[in-house]
Structure 1
């Protein structure tokens, strides 16, 4: 029987958001656990401050302790209508407003001298197929912004690139039951199901190497 360690992270708070799906999904998936045939899955959740200075060190501490095979980071896209699977993280910080520490860096690299971008390690095509089976609306996003979410994602993918056997990705949620245009509001339970689908599909990919289910950079353009 295989044994897989998973870390799911969310952000502690977003300004002006009362029901934070990033926080609640991370906690719920860890509390409820993941069940897979012939595989033992342990899930650890960690909540991160909305801080350029402290978000990555907080996550890194958990990664060092758990040594996970899979890391799923989550965030919020306020005006989204769907779950968004983030394709890449860019090596830029350009904050349009201050973070939780009142810091507002502009036009700075996340990591000096690092690649312009990192691509996700997750099998996005396979995940989107699983979402379709469960009627979960999804979009592929090539822009995680230039705020803390993108900065954290870049740091995470940089870390994963140096860890043999580790995969990492980022998904963004809409606001819980928020009406945007004619789209049906998304309930928290569907977001939890979406995170669970990302984890189980990614584990299956890791265990069986379904390389045809990766969404490659050329296809993501």
Structure 2
């Protein structure tokens, strides 16, 4: 029986012509991680950059593919590394409107939900393995308060509900990874750092294989001073 890894990316937003998160995701659509003993295939799905609508599309994709692992990707313009996120917080506070003109301020992602959820991906092992392969990577401790954090929180809330607890242990695991700009996008924003698509794809291949192979994360420094 084939296992599926659901990998999502967002459509372009804020008048940009492309979104690196989707370019990376779709480049990996159909890819089969070599490290798996059982057949495993990546399924890429594009999400709208819209509060609420993105969650609906994610839930549809999860129902369609029944994944054992879910990784959502998003753009973090200005970052220089691939950054697995540690925590999703229960707040929408949009600095700019989304693609439907929605701009929630100080609104809960899930009314009555916990203040936060931690990723159930082995984020430190993923960073370790990407760095070992020469791909810049780091743990991030904030996913922001825009649609990226919105979908991250919604994902973890669903997985916790499916598992019947707040950790998702023993069930489907998931989390969120921010990626840098691509060079062609950075060219439109002078001074913005970028990372080549091939490097980002390589990094995500490593991250996926690590997530599939490692259930208990490594214990090593991944914190930040600010």
Q: Settle same-fold status: TM greater than 0.5.
A: yes
User: 1:91: how far off?
Assistant: 0.2
Q: Indicate which of 152, 167, 174 corresponds to 1:168.
A: 174
RMSD of Structure 2 on Structure 1 (CA): 2.2
Instruction: Give the 5 Å matches for 1:28-39.
Output: 28-39=27-38
CA distance in 1, matches of 2:24, 2:99: 21
Kept after mapping to 2: 8 A contact 1:124/1:214: no
CA distance in 1, matches of 2:90, 2:36: 38
Deviating more after overlay: 187-196 vs 159-168: 159-168
* CA–CA separation in structure 1 for the residues paired with 2:100 and 2:92: 15
Could you give the per-residue CA deviations for residues 45-94 of structure 1, whole angstroms, max 9, x where no partner exists? Answer: 11011100200000100101211110010000111111111111000011
The answer as to whether partners of 2:126 and 2:210 remain within 8 angstroms in 1 is yes
| Alignment: residue pair count | 213
Alpha-carbon distance, 1:36 to partner = 2.5
CA-to-partner distance for each residue in 1:87-139, whole Å, 9 max, x for gaps?
Answer: 11000011111111111111111011111100000011211121122111112
SS at match of 1:158: helix
> Deviation of residue 33 (structure 1)?
3.4
Deviates more, 1:126-135 or 1:37-46: 37-46
Higher strand proportion: 1
Q: 1:213 aligns with which of 204, 210, 218?
A: 218
> Which runs of 5 or more structure 2 residues have no equivalent in the other structure?
164-170
Verify the 8 A CA contact 1:78 1:175 in the aligned structure 2.
Answer: yes
TM-score, structure 2 as length reference: 0.86
CA contact (8 A) 1:34 1:41 kept: yes
Gap regions ≥5 residues in structure 1: none
- Calculate the TM-score normalised by the size of structure 1: 0.88
